[in-house]
Amino acid sequence: MRWLACFLFVACALSPSHVVAQADSSLRSGGDARNKLIGTAVNTTVLRTDPGYRDFLAREFSSVTPENVMKWQVVEPQRGKPDYTAADQLVQFAQANNQAVRGHTLVWHKQLPAWLAAGGFSSSDLADLLHAHIGDEVSHFAGEIYAWDVVNEPFNDDGSWRNSIWYQAMGSDYVAMALQWAHEADPSAKLYLNDYSTEGIGAKSDAMYALAADLLARGVPLDGVGFQAHLGLQYGFPDSLTANLQRFADLGLDVAITEADVRMPLPADSDKLARQADYFGRLLASCLAVDRCVSFTVWGFDDSHSWVPGVFQGQGAATLLDQAFERKPAYDALRDALAASPNARQSDPADGVINHTK
């Protein structure tokens, strides 16, 4: 035993994060061992002010997604004056904690700056503005962001195109243009489409599948598809998730669970929390079952800072930790799902982040 203690001591002194990744039971170490990034959306206001939040974030996650601070509304509140201050702080935190950064999001119909939402632009103005926005933001973070949600939520629930200002201005080709512009600004970043209610096989995921296949056939730089996974207990679990992820992977794409949470009618009780845990565990198990599923990201990790109650009246408790920052059964379900999945990596688990960042 003395040699083991001595070895660990020397290894700790040399490289603390590597030893932590092997010896602890955090979500991130479980993900590292299976070559999956385990991520969360980050509220950067809480990041600045709450040490407990920072500690949990650093310990448990190998990937971060800015919940809001890379959106156009935040990065260019005044036309022509980009401001990446809050996003830069998150990137610095991630680098200090050996975490990958998922960029979110470049093209969306929501959270546009007021000057843009006010309208009055011609179609060619809008194309030029979008090109400049993507070029500026992606260049700013070039080399620091391993994957971008380039286009967010392009479809309606029935699989028809969402009639966003981008669709109105450019037709469906805005997607290919956005991917091309992002690729030009950072050729090393993985470029994704991302949407909700596409977890199971159905009209909306079929539309995403057809779009992805078409883009690939045309040589457009698309690397992956993100499945948000904002689930609710009252709507059931998307049982075809694994098969759905696999059909996108079979196109030659990476796939990712990008915004997982499981809301419930309040108040929470032990039965609902147990069912929620089952849903979280099955979401992660699907990602673990598909080789090309590179990351599993939750949309915030504590109920005090979840977007859900503000949008769905009477619903909430959608994350891994309760209002008192205590672990819920959902947290254990993620750990159990990781433990139940074969350990794919025999080499240094800390490589996982590096592999995905470059």
Contacting positions for ligand 9MR (CB under 6 A): 67-68, 110-111, 152, 196, 228, 259, 307
CB-based closest residue to ligand 9MR: 307
Beta carbons within 10 angstroms of residue 120's beta carbon: 7
Give which of 69, 289, 298, 106 is closest to 194, Cα–Cα. Answer: 106
Burial of 153 (0-12, 13-18, 19+ CB in 10 A): buried
Measured between alpha carbons, how far is 222 from 213 in angstroms, rounded to an integer?
A: 10
For ligand 9MR, the closer of residues 68 and 97 by Cβ is: 68
Instruction: In angstroms, give the least distance from the CB of 16 to ligand 9MR.
Output: 32
Identify the CA nearest to 28 among candidates 301, 326, 358, 328. Answer: 301
Question: In Å, what is the CA distance from 200 to each residue of 196, 247, 287, 322, 329?
Answer: 10, 11, 13, 28, 24
Is 157 within 8 Å of 197 (Cβ atoms)? yes
Rounded to the nearest whole angstrom, what is the least distance from the CB of residue 100 to ligand 9MR in the complex? 18
Residues linked to residue 161 through DSSP beta bridges, in sequence order:
155
Q: Nearer Cβ to ligand 9MR, position 181 or 196? A: 196
Q: How far apart are CA 61 and CA 88, in angstroms?
A: 18
Catalytic member of 153, 184, 199, 326 = 153
Q: Which is nearer to ligand 9MR, 320 or 353 (CB)?
A: 320
Q: Is 198 left (phi over 0), alpha (psi -120 to 50) or beta?
A: alpha
CB of 153 to ligand 9MR, least distance (A): 7
Minimum distance, C-beta of residue 138 to ligand 9MR, in the bound complex (Å): 17
Is position 259 annotated as part of the catalytic site? Answer: yes
Instruction: For ligand 9MR, give the closer residue by CB, 301 or 350.
Output: 301
- By beta-carbon proximity to ligand 9MR, the closer residue of 21 and 69 is 69
The kind and range of the H/E element at 329 are helix 329-340
CB of 28 to ligand 9MR, least distance (A): 22
Given the residues 60, 67, 144, 259, select the one marked as catalytic.
259
Least distance (Å) between residue 333 CB and ligand 9MR: 22
- In the chain, the amino acid numbered 145 is I
Residue in 288, 290, 296 with CA at minimum distance from that of residue 251: 290
Separation CA 82–CA 68 (nearest Å): 15
To ligand 9MR, the closest distance from the beta carbon of 10 in angstroms equals: 44
Name which of 35 and 152 has its Cβ closer to ligand 9MR. 152
Residue number, 308 or 350, with CB nearest to ligand 9MR: 308
**Contacting residues for 66 by C-beta, under 8 A, at least 6 apart:** 41, 42, 44, 86, 87, 90, 101, 103, 104
Long-range contacts of 80-83 (CB under 8 A, 24+ apart): 82/136, 82/137, 82/140
Active-site positions? 153, 259
